[in-house]
């Protein structure tokens, strides 16, 4: 009986990673429809680009493992991988800016003087916050 070769496992692993990364890219595109506006939406656009680039890296690696040597000669998967890492780093930078800038906005509103005609919302305490 012939044992499966290591190359066939590489091909199956590359195919599996490609299918997973393509699914992740599709989910990222669906999630973008929820967050189209504002700074959060801008960072999601870059994350979608990064996830599509990752799927492309996996497709190129699958092609390399399958035996398409011209892709391997030009190191296309490495070039796309660099673009993926750069876009992912930029997306994380945008996410960081969104979450770091938001507390500063709330601090600005806390320091503004309150008007007497503003209605205060009632404070609701949970059972854990009450002194019993």
Tens of each residue's pLDDT in the chain, 132 residues: 454 566 788 888 888 988 998 888 888 777 777 766 666 677 778 888 888 898 898 888 888 888 877 777 778 888 899 999 999 899 889 888 888 876 555 555 555 555 555 566 655 555 555 555
In degrees, to the nearest 5, what angle opens at C-alpha 27 toward C-alphas 22 and 32? 125
* 25 neighbors 54 (Cβ within 8 angstroms): yes
pLDDT at 51: 87
CA 54/CA 15 separation, integer angstroms: 13
pLDDT at 1: 44
CA 59/CA 3 separation, integer angstroms: 26
CA 132/CA 58 separation, integer angstroms: 58
Query: Interhelix angle for 6-32 vs 38-66, to 10°?
Result: 160
CA 75/CA 38 separation, integer angstroms: 37
SS3 119: coil
pLDDT at 75: 82
pLDDT at 33: 72
């Amino acid at each position: 009986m012939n044992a499966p070769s290591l190359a066939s496992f590489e091909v199956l692993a590359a195919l599996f990673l490609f299918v997973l990364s393509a699914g992740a890219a599709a989910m990222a595109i669906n999630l973008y429809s929820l967050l189209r506006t504002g700074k959060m939406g801008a960072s999601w656009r870059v994350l979608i680009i990064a996830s599509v680039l990752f799927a492309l890296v996996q497709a190129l690696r699958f092609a390399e493992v399958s035996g398409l040597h011209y892709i391997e000669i030009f190191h296309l998967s490495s070039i796309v991988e660099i673009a993926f890492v750069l876009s992912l780093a930029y997306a994380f930078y945008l996410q960081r800016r969104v979450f770091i800038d938001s507390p500063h906005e709330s601090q600005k509103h806390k320091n503004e003087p309150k008007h007497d005609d503003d209605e205060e919302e009632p404070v609701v305490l949970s059972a854990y916050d009450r002194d019993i």
